[in-house]
Structure 1
């Protein structure tokens, strides 16, 4: 036996070599007024659980908001932040902007400049729910693929047509991370914990929150049409999918019927039997819902919203909305 082998062999009573604790990663959360509390807590709580289960401070975090001080979530709960946006340059490995409400209307040059500075310093910058909208405004998503909450997607695509939007739970591309929000933030953080510290800890954190499946980033955001509408007829489901994909240039009834391989009359009957409304009315409701969404989530003009939802002008859209309100009120009138 060589002397080297002898010295490397554990001797009786000798303590095992000390293993260095993993380096602590610092995560920043930029909370924009009216931020979604569900998405924020789904992002920060897995970090706390990882620390608890590992017995180490694997993660620490801080909060910032434009103007500093207290920031209110969309449900009215307030959080006292640690940092004022732009005032200091805190340590951070990753910074996530969490926004909700109407991110298109939130324009803070100081926040945009601060995010760009963080990115220049090598910080991974991310957005949660409507947060990717603010990353795009800061010029941090050019040439990148991203995702955001499905409610914000139509307005985002109108405003940033050159940015590729994927309707997934989250997208992690190097030093940019985007997340659709809600419970998807939990899946994002579980995937990051797995990347940082292995699948065992990620599985433990997932179990901690009674989350029995860690979803991949490319999983869809929304329920399957079959579940959303409570129907199983493949003909109607094909038509509904085509309607949702063609709101700007509505498809004629004949084209929709051809997709279902039935006559227009048969398709009308299927819609009334399964959805309780006619083909035209259902298509119109989808277009009006999109118009309402764009009005709430973007700064587009009335004529631009009309064009994006298949109406010839703002007046036609306004008349359709007025008729829709009247029809909706009729069943409630005695």
Structure 2
């Protein structure tokens, strides 16, 4: 008997199987002004997995409040093909993709549909601001989740009982949350690996020139060393402490103790490393947080002032006006 010919496969392509696996159906619920990059980073790996495997491993559909064409934040439109509330739609996983200001989005029919999908066995996920909507629908109670870092302050104020981690993505049973952006690619690579093996996940990653698959627990943001371009470990310790203590700002003496230097030396570290002093950096950090909360939460001005270390709403407003005047003078 002749030897069977060797089967050749392209790099990243799975070896042929006698029977193709049943396709998983993935739904994307796109909320108006959704972030296009996060959505694309989530759907394109599914297409690539189908192409590289040579069979339909995944199929997907789109839904949006109001149906029709839903616009991304950059104006590009996606045509939906499933109506919110559909009772006979196939769904293994459903991802809500949202951006903008998810705290203000309220759609009871959508929330009821998501709860129905969960009851019928679908795994529910949120991307970027999507976890905010899952929480609004009551689908994250008792769960750990992540979401885009700019939505975290408002989310924590509104849902203090939900455990928020600042990771790229979280997979916890039948709930999946993702911080958005390119992290959605890492999430999908992880899911493809779980579904069909690490080889296919690596092939998809290579297909998109993504030469390192990041783990879910990887941090969302660049570390302080990269963000501020500083290397002094004393200054880095202080910067981290300031970011962790916005509601109750630490005194300069406490910050100097963290750096194991005098207050005068601490001021010199800031001016040498950042070009300005301790007070200015802390103030801008608190004002940036106040701006986030004002844009993405229903907190009153007084509550925002308290959450960012200001004695009153008037003090917060004065600090904002001073920063605007300084910015205008600099220009």
Q: Give the Cα separation in 1 of the matches to 2:3 and 2:180.
A: 52
Residue equivalent to 1:232: 231
Residue equivalent to 1:190: 189
Q: Give the Cα separation in 1 of the matches to 2:238 and 2:17.
A: 64
Q: Give the Cα separation in 1 of the matches to 2:4 and 2:231.
A: 68
- Could you list the per-position Cα deviations for residues 177-203 of structure 1 after superposition, in whole angstroms to 9, with x for gaps in the alignment? 000000000000000000000011000
Match of 2:309, SS? coil
Q: CA deviation at 1:13?
A: 9.7
1:79 aligns with 2:72: no
Q: CA deviation at 1:331?
A: 2.0
Residue equivalent to 1:257: 256
Contiguous gaps of at least 5 residues in structure 2: 8-15
Residue equivalent to 2:160: 161
Q: Give the Cα separation in 1 of the matches to 2:17 and 2:271.
A: 71
Residue equivalent to 2:203: 204
Q: CA deviation at 1:305?
A: 0.7
Match of 1:67, SS? coil
Q: Give the Cα separation in 2 of the matches to 1:142 and 1:253.
A: 39
What does residue range 163-178 of structure 1 map to in structure 2 within 5 Å? 163-178=162-177
1:27 aligns with 2:44: no
Q: Give the Cα separation in 2 of the matches to 1:84 and 1:264.
A: 61
Match of 1:270, SS? helix
Q: CA deviation at 1:329?
A: 1.8
What does residue range 86-105 of structure 1 map to in structure 2 within 5 Å? 86-105=85-104
Aligned length: 322
Larger Rg: 1
TM-score normalised over the length of structure 1:
0.94
Q: Give the Cα separation in 2 of the matches to 1:224 and 1:274.
A: 16
Q: CA deviation at 1:134?
A: 0.3
RMSD: 1.6
Residue equivalent to 1:64: 63
Contiguous gaps of at least 5 residues in structure 1: 1-10
Residue equivalent to 1:54: 53
Runs of 4+ with >4 A deviation: 11-18
- Could you list the per-position Cα deviations for residues 37-59 of structure 1 after superposition, in whole angstroms to 9, with x for gaps in the alignment? 00000000000000000000000
Match of 2:218, SS? coil
The 10-residue stretch of structure 1 (37-46 or 310-319) with the greater mean CA deviation from structure 2: 310-319
Q: Give the Cα separation in 2 of the matches to 1:170 and 1:13.
A: 47
Q: Give the Cα separation in 2 of the matches to 1:188 and 1:58.
A: 17
Q: CA deviation at 1:204?
A: 0.3
Q: Give the Cα separation in 2 of the matches to 1:178 and 1:87.
A: 23
Residue equivalent to 2:118: 119
Match of 1:328, SS? helix
- Could you list the per-position Cα deviations for residues 171-227 of structure 1 after superposition, in whole angstroms to 9, with x for gaps in the alignment? 001100000000000000000000000011000000000000111100000001000
Seen in structure 2, the aligned counterparts of structure 1 residues 89 and 133 have a Cα distance that, compared at 3 Å, is: farther
